[in-house]
C-alpha cells in the first residue's frame, strides 16, 4: 500500500505518538500535566523493539537472561551469556493495520573471548524501510511529484566485560543514517553517532531448597548526537533512553522454570516548547519568547538535553512521572527447549498512550531456535495492534562443535 503524503512519515514512524501543540492560555501547572504532550524525537526506529522474545514479554530486556539480541536491551549481559557466541535474525512487519510495506529487519550477534570467557564483542545492524512513498503537490494532491523509498539504518559495535563474578558493564558505539528526503528538496539525509552505556548484575539466592537467579540491569542508549535534515538549521534529539530492569527466575522442578521480568523506561529528551507555556496574565501569547525557546531547543546539545530532561516538563513533577513507561513479562521454560511468554506494556495516555498485552513462544532445535511474538493493544484504534515479530537464532559455539565432530 502506497502512502500518499510525505509529511505523514513522522506519524507513521511514531505509531500512536504524535507531536502536539495546544494553545490553552488558561492552563495551570496541574492542567499542563494533563495536556497531550509526548516527547518528540527523530530516528524513531531506534526505539522500536526488534526481537520476538522481548516483544512477547511487554518489551522488557534490561535484566532478562542474555541472548543474541542483548545488544539492544543491555549489551553488558553478553559477558554472562551461556554460549560462547550467537547470532539472531529478526523481522517485524510494522504498522500492518495501516500499511503493508513498512518493515524492520534486525541482525545481532556476539562472541566471547578471554581466558575465562569473561569478555565479549558484539555487533548489530538495523534496517527500517518505509516502502514506497508518493510525494504530492500540496496545492494539487492528485499530482505526484515523485516516488521515494525512505529508510533508516543503524550499525552498532559493542564490547562488554565481567568486572566481578556477579557484575559486568558494556559500551556500544552506533552510526545512524536517516534518509527521509526527496530529490530537489531543501532537506538532506541525516548522519550522526551515538553511544550506549550499560551495566548488569546477577546473583543466585537460595529460596527454600531451590537456587534462584535474581538479576538487575541498566542501559542508557543513544547518548550523543542529534539529527538534522536541513544542514543544522533545525536539529532534533535521538531517542536517548534510560532503561532499568530486574528479573527473577526460579525453578518449579527439574524441568520447569519461571521468570518474572520488569522494565521501566524514560526518554532522556527535553520537552519541545508548547505555546500554552508562553501566555501572559492577559491571555496574550508572547511570541518572541516562544520562538526563542524553540531556537534554544534546536541549538541544545544531546548531552545537555539528557540532563535537562529530568526537570523541564511543563506540568512539573507530575508530567515527568508520566514520561516513565513500563513493561512486565513472564517467561515459562520447559527443559530449556520450549518457551511460553506473556506481558504487558504501559505508557501514559498523555505521552503516547501505547498500552498493549503481548504473547509469544519459542522452541530450541539443536543449534538454532525460533521465536514469535504478538501484540494485542488495549488502546482504541492503535496502529500497534496485531503486530507480529519473528526471530531466528543460531548458537555459533554449537555449530562449531557440530562441524568439528562431523570432520572427526
Instruction: Give the pLDDT of residue 408.
Output: 57
Instruction: Give the pLDDT of residue 146.
Output: 74
What are the grid coordinates assigned to 223, written together?
Answer: 547518548
- Choose between 95 and 223: higher pLDDT: 223
Instruction: Give the pLDDT of residue 380.
Output: 67
Lowest mean pLDDT among 4-8, 203-207, 359-363: 4-8
* 314 within some domain: yes
What are the grid coordinates assigned to 143, written together?
Answer: 499530482
The pLDDT confidence band at residue 185, using thresholds 50, 70 and 90, is low
287: pLDDT strictly greater than 90: no
What does the mean pLDDT of the chain come to? Answer: 87
Q: 280 and 288 in contact (C-beta within 8 Å)? A: no
Q: 266 and 240 in contact (C-beta within 8 Å)? A: no
298: pLDDT strictly greater than 50: yes
Instruction: Give the pLDDT of residue 355.
Output: 94
Q: 41 and 236 in contact (C-beta within 8 Å)? A: yes
* 129 within some domain: yes
Cβ atoms < 10 Å from Cβ of 350 = 19
Cβ atoms < 10 Å from Cβ of 204 = 11
- SS3 letters across 232-283: CCCCEECCCEEEEEEEEEEECCCCEEEEEEEEEEEECCCCCCCHHHHECCCC
Domain that holds residue 311: 6-407
Q: 245 and 63 in contact (C-beta within 8 Å)? A: yes
- The DSSP secondary structure of 166-187, one letter per residue, reads SEEEEEEEEEEEEE---TTSS-
What are the grid coordinates assigned to 173, written together?
Answer: 558505539
- Choose between 349 and 36: higher pLDDT: 349
What are the grid coordinates assigned to 219, written together?
Answer: 542501559
Lowest mean pLDDT among 7-11, 137-141, 160-164: 7-11
- Choose between 134 and 295: higher pLDDT: 295
| Percent of the chain predicted with pLDDT > 70 | 86
369: pLDDT strictly greater than 50: yes
Which CATH number do you get for residue 351?
2.40.160.40
pTM for the model stands at: 0.89
> What contacts 108, CB < 8 A, 6 or more positions away?
50, 51, 68, 69, 70, 71, 72, 87, 88, 90, 122, 123, 124, 125
4: pLDDT strictly greater than 50: no
- Choose between 38 and 171: higher pLDDT: 171
Residue 354 Cα distances to 28, 324, 384, angstroms: 26, 12, 8
24: pLDDT strictly greater than 50: no
CA distance linking residue 295 with residue 308, whole number of Å: 16
- Choose between 69 and 385: higher pLDDT: 69
* 128 within some domain: yes
Direct distance between the N- and C-terminal alpha carbons of the chain, in angstroms, rounded to an integer: 53
- Choose between 295 and 384: higher pLDDT: 295
Q: 259 and 64 in contact (C-beta within 8 Å)? A: yes
Query: Is the dihedral angle over the CA atoms 281, 286, 291, 296 positive or is it negative?
Result: negative
Number of domains present in the structure of the chain: 1
* 1 within some domain: no
286, burial (CB in 10 Å: exposed 0-12, middle 13-18, buried 19+): middle
DSSP letter assigned to residue 65: P
* 365 within some domain: yes
What angle (nearest 5°) sits at the alpha carbon of residue 196, between those of residues 190 and 197?
160
* Beta-bridge partners for 203: 214
How far out from the chain centre does Cα 90 lie? 14
3-state secondary structure of 33: coil
Mean pLDDT of 76-100: 91
Amino acid at each position: 500500500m502506497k502512502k500518499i503524503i510525505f509529511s505523514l512519515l513522522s506519524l507513521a514512524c511514531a505509531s500512536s505518538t504524535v507531536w502536539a501543540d495546544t494553545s490553552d492560555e488558561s492552563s495551570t501547572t496541574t492542567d499542563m500535566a494533563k495536556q497531550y504532550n509526548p516527547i518528540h524525537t527523530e530516528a524513531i526506529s531506534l526505539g522500536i523493539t526488534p526481537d520476538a522474545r522481548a516483544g512477547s514479554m511487554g518489551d522488557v530486556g534490561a535484566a532478562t537472561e542474555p541472548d543474541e539480541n542483548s545488544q539492544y536491551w543491555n549489551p553488558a549481559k553478553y559477558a554472562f551469556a551461556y554460549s560462547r557466541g550467537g547470532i539472531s535474525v529478526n523481522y517485524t512487519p510494522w504498522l500492518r493495520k495501516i500499511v503493508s510495506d513498512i518493515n524492520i529487519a534486525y541482525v545481532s550477534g556476539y562472541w566471547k573471548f578471554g581466558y575465562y570467557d569473561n569478555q565479549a564483542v558484539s555487533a548489530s545492524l538495523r534496517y527500517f524501510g518505509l516502502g514506497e512513498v508518493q510525494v504530492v503537490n500540496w496545492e494539487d494532491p492528485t499530482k505526484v511529484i515523485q516516488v521515494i523509498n525512505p529508510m533508516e539504518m543503524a550499525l552498532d559495535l559493542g564490547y562488554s566485560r565481567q568486572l566481578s563474578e556477579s557484575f559486568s558493564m558494556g559500551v556500544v558505539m552506533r552510526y545512524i543514517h536517516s534518509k527521509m528526503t526527496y530529490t530537489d528538496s531543501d532537506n538532506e539525509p541525516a548522519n550522526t553517532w551515538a553511544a550506549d552505556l550499560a551495566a548488569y548484575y546477577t546473583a543466585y539466592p537460595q529460596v527454600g531448597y531451590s537456587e534462584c537467579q535474581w538479576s538487575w540491569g541498566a542501559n542508557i542508549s543513544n547518548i550523543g548526537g542529534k539529527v538534522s535534515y536541513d544542514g543544522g538549521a533545525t536539529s532534533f534529539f535521538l531517542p536517548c533512553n534510560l532503561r532499568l530492569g530486574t528479573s527473577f527466575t526460579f525453578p518449579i522442578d527439574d524441568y520447569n522454570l519461571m521468570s518474572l521480568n520488569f522494565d521501566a523506561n524514560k526518554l532522556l529528551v527535553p520537552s519541545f516548547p508548547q505555546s500554552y507555556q508562553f501566555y501572559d496574565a492577559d491571555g496574550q501569547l508572547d511570541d518572541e519568547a516562544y520562538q526563542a525557546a524553540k531556537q534554544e531547543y534546536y541549538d541544545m546539545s544531546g548531552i545537555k538535553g539528557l540532563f535537562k530532561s529530568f526537570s523541564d516538563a511543563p506540568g512539573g513533577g507530575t508530567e515527568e512521572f508520566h514520561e516513565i513507561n513500563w513493561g512486565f513479562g513472564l517467561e515459562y521454560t520447559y527443559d530449556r527447549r520450549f518457551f511460553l511468554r506473556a506481558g504487558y506494556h504501559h505508557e501514559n495516555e498523555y505521552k503516547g498512550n501505547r498500552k498493549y498485552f503481548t504473547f509469544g513462544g519459542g522452541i530450541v532445535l539443536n543449534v538454532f531456535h525460533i521465536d514469535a511474538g504478538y501484540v494485542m493493544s488495549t488502546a482504541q484504534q492503535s496502529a500497534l495492534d496485531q503486530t507480529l515479530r519473528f526471530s531466528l537464532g543460531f548458537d555459533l559455539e554449537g555449530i562449531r562443535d557440530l562441524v568439528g565432530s562431523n570432520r572427526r
